[in-house]
Structure 1
């Protein structure tokens, strides 16, 4: 991965977002903790590397991730407050995204100490499955679900990094699955499941968690239009269509279900089903011919439905895998009646 130069501490984006320090770095951009000088709150700001200011694909990657992350509007996905383009002190103009600042640790740090007890693993996976169900309902495939892209925070589980996310492949499976909501009813009460499914299918999903409006599209305007897709009237030309990622445009919702199965396997066993040297490559590339054999989970005390669900998610044939909405419902059912404290971030 190429080294991306970091902006100096104190740099002000649009004379408003004052960068405090880098907290994450990818191949083309850096995420900074920042302070909003107008409102006095802490935020995260993702900025494309100035050296890539003229790279059309890199610029589009930042824009695509912002659009997709905002489209989800899920309490377990970081909120997007604003995105657009901004001039930097060196004269370059780059895309930026203003995001919710998360506190917590990556799931990878938790797994470095060993496998999780199955109730905690199921709670994390169920939250991830909720997000995938919403994403698939809205035509998005995450394509990079893994322990490094899950944050365990005091506010709960957050699914991050939609850099490889893409508009879902439309074939025999449209990728439009119902939104799923966690059941809160008494044990054995399936009414809430049915109502959640029905509301989602008919276009009126209800969600727990904080409500918020869409992000502002800020940034530099050129020739009557800024580079976030808005004209001077404030109309978002991309509201109904999401862009595909050039490297993952082939992706299907079933690919996300497979990687969710891999994640569950890793949390339950403390190890990947793949040799370390090839794990990330195989899962990211989605090479079905090289997928790990359907696993056998011989873990004492593991509920048989959970064992069977992991195996179903990791089926080699995409058409044999369950829908993300069904995975979420099944995982919450498995947890139904199990008292579990909030995941520890220590």
Structure 2
């Protein structure tokens, strides 16, 4: 996920969340990367001051209330919100990774195995949302984040209660993404049914497999005409043959002709199993293929200043100070820098463990592992490199939350790899 620095006009804190950078924006507001006091990363959505009015606050409050009811392993969870604040905001789970739109633009379409895995995962997630009496209504490639633990759905801002007249939009107003919108939604029909999300999911899977959406036009009016014209069929060019029947059904013009989400899961599983894989294996391949390298939150922050100990002109530490080897300085006082401590000083040995023999006895009795160079051999041992940038001190206390978690995980992996049991 692309993270831009804050602008001079951006807030630096909201509701206890420290804002670290920009991760997205829309017509209604800005989305920031934030961090809770305990170090939990979050996506913090803030309404623009220029559009804050009573109607916007009401819509935002309705969005928060709906998000409180949504749960699921593949749904970005709501963490906190305050629609009554001067600048209304909400915080959701932060997912490190590209959205599907950016991933396909950067790396090309997914193969059929991974597209089918994505389809099974998202269809199951949407089925959970539907069981809660809700529809997403705006599923699109940009609302599917490909995180390190698999894909997740975000942005339920247009979510509406299924089989209900409740809406966050004015009557006769069509809101959503036209290129992924089913005909009935584009025509403003109500009530909407779960079939709208089946169609949108079909558009998302079509994009994942081919790199394009069902309909494309430079003019939005032409695009709406293509979507609503029953004689105009979606463009399935570039789709692998094994996915064409499923996507054709999901993108059917009539809502009643589209499969239920449970059937979508079954057909995706059939595509996966026909290639000799189990669905869990395909999921792991999908995650491995799409997960971006983790960007440490510490890398967004300026380096901390190391604690210092003042010294007198004679080179002696002042009262109460701990003596350390002096450094050079100017003026009447010299400063000695204490070595940094904490998880950011963990050697990268855990990142690159020493190669192990493939099997016991691979090294013969006459062979010995190469020893490290010593001073006796005329070579000074190299200091261990350190991993990660130094953490930033905020309010006089360093916070190493993200780095600490990652370092701990690497240590566990290194230990597990070398353990004899």
Is 1:122 matched up with 2:122?
no
Report the equivalent of 1:136: 130
Distance 1:86 1:56, change over 3 A: closer
Report the equivalent of 2:54: 56
Report the equivalent of 1:150: 144
Report the equivalent of 2:255: 318
Is 1:105 matched up with 2:98?
yes
Distance 1:137 1:118, change over 3 A: same
Cα distance in 1 for partners of 2:118, 2:77 equals 19
Distance 1:277 1:290, change over 3 A: farther
Report the equivalent of 1:277: 218
Cα distance in 2 for partners of 1:127, 1:281 equals 33
Report the equivalent of 1:245: 168
Q: TM-score by structure 2 length?
A: 0.55
- Per-residue Cα deviation, 1:165-219 (whole angstroms, up to 9, x for no partner): 2122359xxxxxxxxxxxxxxxxxxxxxxxxxxxxxxxxxxxxxxxxxxxxxxxx
Report the equivalent of 1:71: 69
SS where residue 23 of structure 1 aligns?
strand
Cα distance in 2 for partners of 1:83, 1:9 equals 18
Cα distance in 2 for partners of 1:258, 1:103 equals 27
Deviation, structure 1 residue 278: 5.2
Deviation, structure 1 residue 8: 4.1
Unpaired runs of 5+ in structure 2? 1-5, 176-189, 293-421
Report the equivalent of 1:262: 203
Distance 1:61 1:335, change over 3 A: farther
Distance 1:313 1:131, change over 3 A: same
Q: How does 1:30-49 map to 2 (within 5 A)?
A: 30-37=30-37, 39-49=38-48
Aligned residue pairs: how many? 259
Cα distance in 1 for partners of 2:18, 2:236 equals 51
Cα distance in 2 for partners of 1:293, 1:56 equals 42
Report the equivalent of 1:335: 272
Distance 1:150 1:292, change over 3 A: farther
Cα distance in 1 for partners of 2:137, 2:226 equals 9
CA RMSD, Structure 1 to Structure 2 (Å)? 3.0
Q: Which of structures 1 and 2 has the larger relative contact order (alpha carbons within 8 angstroms, sep 6+)? A: 1
- Equivalent residues of 2:217, 2:223 under 8 A apart: no
Unpaired runs of 5+ in structure 1? 88-92, 172-242
Which is helix-richer, 1 or 2? Answer: 2
Distance 1:146 1:158, change over 3 A: same
Distance 1:286 1:260, change over 3 A: farther
Deviation, structure 1 residue 100: 0.9
- Equivalent residues of 1:255, 1:286 under 8 A apart: no
SS where residue 18 of structure 1 aligns?
strand
Q: TM-score by structure 1 length?
A: 0.66
